[in-house]
Amino acid sequence: MKLPRGQKTADLRNSMREKNLFTVCEEARCPNLGECWEDGTATIMVMGDVCTRGCRFCAVKTGNPNGWLDYDEPEKVAASADIEQLRYIVITSVDRDDLPDFGAGHYAKIIKAIKARRPDMLVEALTPDFQGDDDCIHTICDSGLDVFAHNIETVESLHRRVRDVRAKYDQTLYVLAEAKRYRADLVTKSSIMLGLGETDDELRQTFSDLRRADVNILTLGQYLQPNKKLLDVVEYVHPDKFDEWAEVAINEFGFDYCASGPMVRSSYKAAENYVLAQKNRLEV
């Protein structure tokens, strides 16, 4: 992987520290940090670091934040718009089932605050499922974001073993489909982890299900066990297979773009994904 070095990366890190902003890229020690930051993309996690769910692939703390929110967070995160090196920002979060609107209103305030300071900043929201609530989905869609992302994570047969019981396969598909139905011009995106025991036929079925929900962008990456308490890796998928899946996703299933590789993560090169998806749409 490309090492996180160079003046652009250093300047971006310094600007983040000056504004007291911390990225998922750094906190998760993402292997793509150097590549994404050089490309002007960064991911910020909001609404705290305690998740109300307990998925078996994720090392984020599980608990009950009891309604806590940092009400100054929208303006704090909006300060990222003043960082010249950034051209694309991904806002993601833990699940907040403890909040009446599951955090949708807070998400929307953050996105609106960024757009108010810099309308040309591209914003992606990598959201929870909001328990499939239409009003919450619409609140995010109305916030002015450019990309609505929500991850399906794995194939249907593995869903109950991999994800929290409240994170339902059909509900994920509904959230993505409703976002596109409500705002047809919105780019939608989802991600799948490979190496959890899925079969090729099951993966193809998931591709088909996502396309029926009119998802535009797909990312595929290798599942890596965060710690010994979480799910074991069943298979390390060969890089050539990731390349093959990218071709299948685009040529057979019609995704606008597919980023596929062992180290690819949900927001990997998000700006490039967005630009390529839009370019392909215009050429059709």
Per-residue pLDDT of the chain (284 residues; tens, 9 = 90+): 555 556 666 666 666 666 566 555 554 555 655 566 566 678 888 998 889 999 999 888 899 999 999 999 999 888 877 777 788 888 999 999 999 999 999 999 999 999 999 999 999 999 999 999 999 999 999 999 999 999 999 999 999 999 999 999 999 999 999 999 999 999 999 999 999 999 999 999 999 999 999 999 999 999 998 889 999 999 999 999 999 999 999 999 999 999 999 989 887 777 677 777 776 766 65
Q: Give the model's pLDDT for residue 226.
A: 84
| pLDDT of res. 6 | 62
Helices (H), the chain: 7-18, 24-27, 33-38, 73-78, 104-117, 134-141, 159-162, 169-182, 200-212, 239-247, 270-283
Which CATH architecture does the domain made up of 7-283 adopt?
A: Alpha-Beta Barrel (3.20)
**What are the boundaries of each domain within the chain?**
7-283
Question: What HEC string does 186-202 produce?
Answer: CEEEEEEEECCCCCHHH
- The number of C-alpha atoms within 13 Å of 274 and in the hemisphere containing its C-beta is 26
Which DSSP letter does residue 249 get? I
pLDDT at 270: 73
Listed in sequence order, the residues at least 6 apart from 60 whose beta carbon sits closer than 8 Å to its beta carbon are 49, 50, 51, 94
Q: Is 53 strand, coil or helix?
A: coil
Q: What is the pTM (predicted TM-score) of this model?
A: 0.89
Write down the pLDDT at residue 80.
79
Which pLDDT does position 143 carry in this prediction?
A: 97
- What is the helix (H) or strand (E) element at residue 258, kind and residue range? strand 257-260
